[in-house]
Every structure is written in C-alpha cells, then in structure tokens.
Structure 1
Amino acid sequence: MKDFITGFQFLTRIPIVSQSEWSTESFGRSVKFFPIIGGIIGLLLFGFVYIVQYLGGGKVPIHAMAIGVVIIEIFLTGGLHCDGLMDTVDGVFSGRPRERMLEIMKDSRVGAFGAMAFSLLILVKYSLIMDIEPMILPYALLVMPIVGRIAVVIGITLYPYARANGLGKVFYDCSHRQTLYVAGISAIVLLVPLGKVAMMSGVLGIAMSFVFCQYVSKKLGGLTGDVYGAIIELTEIVALLVFIP
C-alpha cells in the first residue's frame, strides 16, 4: 500500500498522506501500480464529464467542457508529463550531439521546440475531445490515462536509461520484467470490461510507445525521466484517436 501511495502522489497532485521522506525502493516498486493510478485519474475525468453532460442538463457548451477536461488533467498531474514532453522535444529535435541533447533536456528553461510541442499538445487534445461523440467521451477519458501509464511502464522496463543518475533512473533500476507483467495484467483487467474500442486503444497506444521509445533510444542511447513524461502524453493522444467516429 505504501508503494501505491508513493506512485499515486508522484503521478498526481492529490494529497493522500502527509509524507516528506520517500525511499528510492518504494518509488521503483510503485511502477507496477501505474495503470491503476491512471484508472483513478480516468475516473475523475469521467466524473467531471458526467456531471457536465447529465447534471448540467446539456447547457454547458461543448468547447467549455473540452477546455475543462484539459485543465483538470493538467491540474491533477501538476503538468509533470507536459514538462517532460517539452524537455524531450527541445533536446531530441535540437540536432545536437547526444551529450548536448541530454544537457538541453536537463535545462529548466523551455525552448522554442518545447513551447510549440506543448501548444500543439493542448490543441490536439482539445480538438479530439471536441470530435468524440458525447455519449462515449466519458469512456474515452477513462481509457486515456490507463493507456498512457501502461505505455510508460514499457519504456521504463524494456529500454535502458540514458543518464547515470536522476529520478527516472530510480524507476528503471527498481523495475523488472515482473513489473511489466503485473502492470500489464492490471491494464487488461481495467480495459477489457470497457469493450473492444478500449482494447484497441490500448493496443495502438502500446504500439506507439514502442515506436517512440525506439526512436528516442537511438538518439539518446536510452530514455530519461523527461522521455517517460513524453510517452504518456503522446500515447494518450493515440488512445483518444481510436474513439473518433
């Protein structure tokens, strides 16, 4: 339970317990719970849309609801994964040697590529939410975070880490194939009851994860914590795409 709480409070900004000290082993062991944590995030997004659609009596404009979903997701995660996407794009697309790419990604400042990537991310998510049929939108938003979290478990467990240290390396060092098996079973248990489209969303999201991890790993010689965040954001987009009619 302690490992689950560690992962939950790292991946979200929802306070469960007041804790100032965290063990590296607990961080690493929390990886197997990522899909379940994604499911909780999905339930919160599901609940928001349900309240807007049904209890709001259809009076809330669809574009306001879409903006609300995007804002709430960023609020729930603290923008952690968005920051990872921006840093990854700044480094990988800089055209510099590997070591310089890693230095750019470590820089706290956001470059032009990162800013453009974040803007496009928000625009694409907003557009996809607008295009999904209202009746299935809550289910799409429930599936999206689950797919994003099982995708990042693949990156953590199957690809080397590009740096000698860093918070992301804690996840890599303490995770094994068994972590992937447990997380994979959890994701299947969560997605199967939601139907064929949910399962297809998971399959395509995982495929996207492999393609992206392979590409970045060749560039950097492995992955980093920032790349982990980018994996989540990109696979969430793929997950939503499947629900477009």
Structure 2
Amino acid sequence: MTQKGRPILAAFQFLSRFPVRAELEFTPELLKRSAKYYPLVGAAIGIVIWLIGAIAGLALPVFPLSVILLIVWVWLTGGLHLDGWMDSADAFLSYRPREKMLEIMKDSRVGAMGVLGCVLLLLFKTSLLVTLLGRGLYAAGAGIMIAPIWSRWFMALAMRKWPTARGKEGLAGRFQGQSSEDTLRSTLLALALSAVLLLLAAVPQCGDVNLILSSVYYILAPVLAWGIGSWMAGRMSTRLGGLTGDTYGAMNEGLEAMLLLFACLLF
C-alpha cells in the first residue's frame, strides 16, 4: 500500500462500511490528509444506492424500495453521521449553556430530542427518495449520487474554516491543520465526480432538457451546500464556541436532505 493511497483508504474506513482491508493507524496526520477524499466516499455511497434502486426498482414499488435504500444508506455509513445528528439534536434543543451542551454530546445515551430528530429526518429522507424514484432513474440518480458528494465536501471545508469547541481534544481536534490547497483539491474532486455522475444518470433518459437540468444542478448544488452548510456551521459554532465531531455529522445529514430536496424541486 503506497503512502499516497493510505489517505484514500482511511477516508473509506472512517466514513463507511466498504470492505477496505488495510491496517491503518488513525493518527491526526492521516485523518487530516484523508479529509480531502471525502467526496470520493460520498460518490461511492451514491453509486451503490442508485444501482440498487435501478435494479430493485424493476420488481419493487417505490415506497418500500425507498425504505430499503435508506436502510442501505444508513448501513453503508455505519450510522456515523446519524449519531452526530442525534447528539446534536439532544444538545442544541436542550437550550442549556455551552458546557452542558458539550457534556450532552459526549454522553453515549440518546435523549428524547435525539430520537425525535432521527425519526423526523428519516421520514423526510424517505419522502424525498419516494419523490425522486417516482420521477425516473435520471432524477433519482442525479439526487442520490450528488447529494452525498457535496455534503461530505462541506464537512472537510468546515474542518478547516471553523474552530473546534474543545480545542485539540476530541475527534474534531484531530482534523485541524488542513490547508487551502487541501480544500481546493477536495473541491476539484467533487466537481469532477459530479460531472461524471450527472452524465451517467442522464444516460437512461438522455435529452436536451435533462442536460440543461444537469447543468443547473451541477452549478447550484455546491452553492447550496456551501450556503446552507455555512449557516449551520456558523450557528453551531456561535453556540458552542466551535465545532465538534458530532456537528460535522449533523451537517452532513442536514445537507444531504437539503440537496435531495433541491433535486426534487428541480427535476
């Protein structure tokens, strides 16, 4: 295994359940170097979900298929980001002081707000998948494959742009120290992956209208991810004095949902 390949493998091992067989020590240096490849992990997850949807959709109705796809989606991520969403919901909806919110996030138990937040998010995502799948392979492919790319791209951006709530302590502190060059590489990777996958999604239903919609989505998806993500990160950072590993996961979940919603509105 080359030194250049280790960060890519680390990104897949850390963010997904893909069978990456490599003995890696997740040092702060390796974690920092792996973050720029997060869009690649998102693309892999999106491709798997879309392919399952395209094949299983030949036999299954849209609603049960959407539930199955969401189950696979959560399984592929190991529930990592969903856990961050629940912990963040427990903390921010407790309306407690900063120190107490940080304590709540460290607690492995899930409270009522976390459960409610999880249920509502999964219901919302299910409804979005039902809508996209009901509009054909192109709409489903565009939304499902692009959303996880840009939600994970923003996580890497947030690691560089906003401070951590616990300084060098905790998971978030281990990602600190990324450069603007890392962000540029991550952005170029996300743009390249998005272009290829949007063209792939358009193959079953190729046409001038779909190509126009693909162009619009290609341009606006990263803008939307940056805008909504920056708003979320800013609000969270203001209340906590920085970001945590849980807030990174929460932002990923929120952005995935918003990008899927945008795909529903556009296609």
Please say whether Structure 1 and Structure 2 have the same fold, judged by a TM-score greater than 0.5. Answer: yes
TM-score by length of 1: 0.94
Maintained 8 Å contact 2:10/2:24: no
1:160 to 139, 159, 163: 163
Alpha-carbon distance in structure 1 between the residues aligned to 2:193 and 2:144: 13
Give the whole-Å Cα distance in 1 for the aligned partners of 2:18 and 2:95. Answer: 38
Q: How many Å apart are 1:93 and its aligned residue?
A: 1.8
Gaps of 5+ in 2: 199-213
Pairing 1:102–2:102 present:
yes
Rounded to whole Å, the distance in 2 between the matches of 1:22 and 1:224 is 17
Residue of structure 2 aligned with 1:175, choices 174, 178, 200: 178
Percent identity over the alignment is 34
Aligned equivalents of 2:157, 2:233: Cα separation in 1: 9
Query: How far apart are the structure 2 equivalents of 1:202 and 1:123?
Result: 24
What's the TM-score, normalizing by structure 2? 0.86
1:210 maps to 2:245: no
Runs of 4+ in structure 1 off by over 3 angstroms are none
User: 1:174: Cα distance to partner?
Assistant: 3.5
Q: CA deviation at 1:192?
A: 3.2
Structure 1 residues 89-109: Cα deviation after superposition (integer angstroms, max 9, x where no partner): 111221111111100111001
What is the CA RMSD across the aligned residues, in angstroms? Answer: 1.3
Supply the distance in 1 between the matched residues of 2:25 and 2:119 (Cα, whole angstroms): 35
CA shift digits 1:1-38 (9 cap, x unpaired): 00110111000011211426332211111001011111
CA apart distance, 1:198: 3.6
Q: SS of 2:8's equivalent?
A: helix
Q: Decide whether the 8 Å contact of 2:142 with 2:263 is kept in 1.
A: no
On the 8 A contact 2:36/2:186 being kept in 1, the answer is: yes
Which residue, 52, 55, 72 being the options, matches 1:51? 55
Q: 1:149 corresponds to which residue?
A: 152
Q: Does 1:36 align with 2:36?
A: no
Q: CA deviation at 1:190?
A: 1.7
Q: Following the alignment from structure 2 to structure 1, what is the Cα–Cα distance between the partners of residues 131 and 178?
A: 38
**Alignment counterpart, residue 194 of structure 2, candidates 191, 196, 199:** 191
The CA distance in 1 between the partners of 2:28 and 2:19, in whole Å, is 19
- Contact map agreement 1:28 1:170 (CA 8 A) in 2: yes
Query: How far does residue 68 in structure 1 lie from its aligned partner after superposition?
Result: 1.0
Contact conserved, 2:9 with 2:22, CA < 8 A, in 1? no
How many residue pairs align between the two structures? 240
Shift of 1:242: 1.3
